[in-house]
Amino acid sequence: MASLTSLTLKGALDGLEAGDFTSVELTRAHIEAVEAARGLNAFLFETPERALAMAAASDARRALGAGRPLDGIPLGIKDLFCTEGVPTTAASKILEPFVPHYESTVTSQLWRDGAVMLGKLNLDEFAMGSSNETSAYGPVINPWRKSGSNQALTPGGSSGGSAAAVAADLCLGATATDTGGSIRQPAAFTGTVGIKPTYGRCSRWGTVAFASSLDQAGPIAKTVEDAAILLTSMSGHDPKDSTSLDVPVPDFAAFVGKSVKGLRIGIPKEYRVDNMPAEIEKLWADGIAWLKEAGCEIVEISLPHTKYALPAYYIVAPAEASSNLARYDGMRYGLRAEGANLTEVYENTRAEGFGDEVKRRILIGTYVLSAGYYDAYYLKALKVRRRIAEDFDSAWEKCDAILTPTAPSAAFGLGENSNDPIAMYLNDVFTVTTNLAGLPGLSLPAGLDANGLPLGLQIIGKPLDEGTVFSVAGAMEKAAGFTAKATKWW
């Protein structure tokens, strides 16, 4: 039998069901993998005792014939989700001694369904970044390396810990969040599958807020089917989040493997950006060919406001962040730096507690919301956001799903973009549009570049039509036949 950590989530569920191994055995194998992979810096906190207790409880349930949808499956949790009794830092010094006394809705649903928590995963500070380098606890290292090179590469961000942990077989799946691409770009950089569902599918309650009108939770997994299984558990209405949608949650896994014959796939001409590597162009063309072969009709579409998406995102997201992060004042959570008076306590706490990128976002956000600039920047960005959503509305008259590259490059080296915020922000050029429009977007691995690094393609769907996204992704996964894994060096 293959090693327990190389199983897919679905394969592990089947093995548990068949009695081939227990959740305690499965969990132990993953705990050992986590301990052996500390060099990747993917986990901020390991919770092995809790994991083994959860696994034992799962085995007991199964023995009684009362297995749940994720019973006994070891998962990693992005450290942006509050976990009761387990530190939650958002990878920021400002939250450092914070131990939540409540559980986020998304994680509570995973535990309700029987999953096992291995620990908390590293991320960019407050999920702001595309390379994991803004984490106060050091960057995550991508398990993938260029062939013949020892250079440390980024796993992408902000869910870099989630993506690296899944790619290195440290867990069978992970939670992640996506405000502008933080599930999909790391998935593309690590050869994993990630989906950001429709805004409102997953509750935001108990997830540390970055930009509330854009933030969505979703899974990173080894396969399209695994991502579908996880998303089904993570989704659902929650009265504690006023933007959570009160709609039924389909069994997303049932859409994987469904025929895509007759579906119309839109190819937006505006996603052909300058200086895009020829390999990504080629990958996109391959994706189109695979879907044609599967019986899809390919239609050219236009999303004319695409070029304004990134600037609009980098106004809206910091604006909301500056407001959301006002709560970290040294009074209620985490760090408190002393000062001669209240104002100084605020100032010292925030100066010491926040990292540079977070400070940059707070400054930009405060600026664009201030009197005199509000109309010129924030209001204008909101109008652009509306236009972008309307572009998609018109596109849906012509197509059922949209195919694009996920990111404009493969994983880059640590330090390569960290001194150039604009170069870093360009990573999000293909992903921010779906956040601005609230649409589902999935990234799946579709091939390797000349250096042997994975590249991803993105499928964008209509609101609440994750089902079609999963069907298209399933067909592409089959056609791509992507089986490459990072060679173990850690």
Dmax (CA) for the chain in angstroms is: 70
Query: Strand 297-301 and strand 264-268: pairing?
Result: parallel
- Looking at beta carbons, which residue is closest to ligand GLN? 182
**Of 58 and 179, which CB lies nearer to ligand GLN in the complex structure?**
179
Shortest Cβ 130–ligand GLN spacing (Å): 4
Give min distance, CB of 136 to ligand GLN, in A: 15
- Strand 401-405 and strand 454-461: the pairing is antiparallel
C-alpha dihedral over 154, 160, 162, 168, to 10 degrees?
10
Overall residue count recorded for the chain in this entry: 490
Distance CA 417, CA 69 (A): 41
Strand order in the sheet with 441-448: 43-46, 116-121, 74-78, 173-178, 216-221, 193-196, 441-448, 454-461, 401-405, 264-268, 297-301
Q: How far is the CB of 10 from ligand GLN (least distance, A)?
A: 27
Using CB under 6 A, list all residues that contact ligand GLN.
127-130, 158, 178-182, 210, 317, 428
Is residue 77 within 8 Å of 27, Cβ to Cβ?
no
Q: Residue 27 or 207: which CB sits closer to ligand GLN?
A: 207
Alpha helices (H) in 113-197, listed in sequence order: 160-167, 184-190
Minimum CB separation of residue 179 from ligand GLN in Å reads 4
Taking the complex as a whole, the smallest distance from the CB of residue 272 to ligand GLN amounts, in Å, to 21
Q: For residue 456, give the 3-state DSSP assignment.
A: strand
Least distance between ligand GLN and beta carbon 286 (Å): 26
Q: Is the dihedral of CA 174, 176, 182, 183 positive or negative?
A: positive
d(CA 129, CA 301): 30
Q: Is the CB of 15 or the CB of 365 nearer to ligand GLN?
A: 365
The least distance separating ligand GLN from the CB of residue 364, rounded to whole angstroms, comes to 11
Our CB check for ligand GLN shows the closer of 58 and 175 to be: 175
Of 31 and 220, CB closest to ligand GLN: 220
Q: Tell me which DSSP letter residue 153 carries.
A: B
Angle made by CA atoms 99, 107, 243, in degrees to the nearest 5:
100
Residue nearer to ligand GLN on the CB measure, 5 or 207: 207
Comparison of 53 and 426: residue with beta carbon closer to ligand GLN: 426
Task: In whole angstroms, give the CA distance from residue 221 to residue 352.
Answer: 35
Interacting residues of 81 by C-beta distance below 8 A, sequence separation 6+: 88, 104, 106, 107, 175, 177, 206, 207, 208, 217
Catalytic residues: 78, 158, 182
What's 260-318 look like in SS3? CCCCEEEEEHHHCCCCCCHHHHHHHHHHHHHHHHCCCEEEEECCCCHHHHHHHHHHHHH
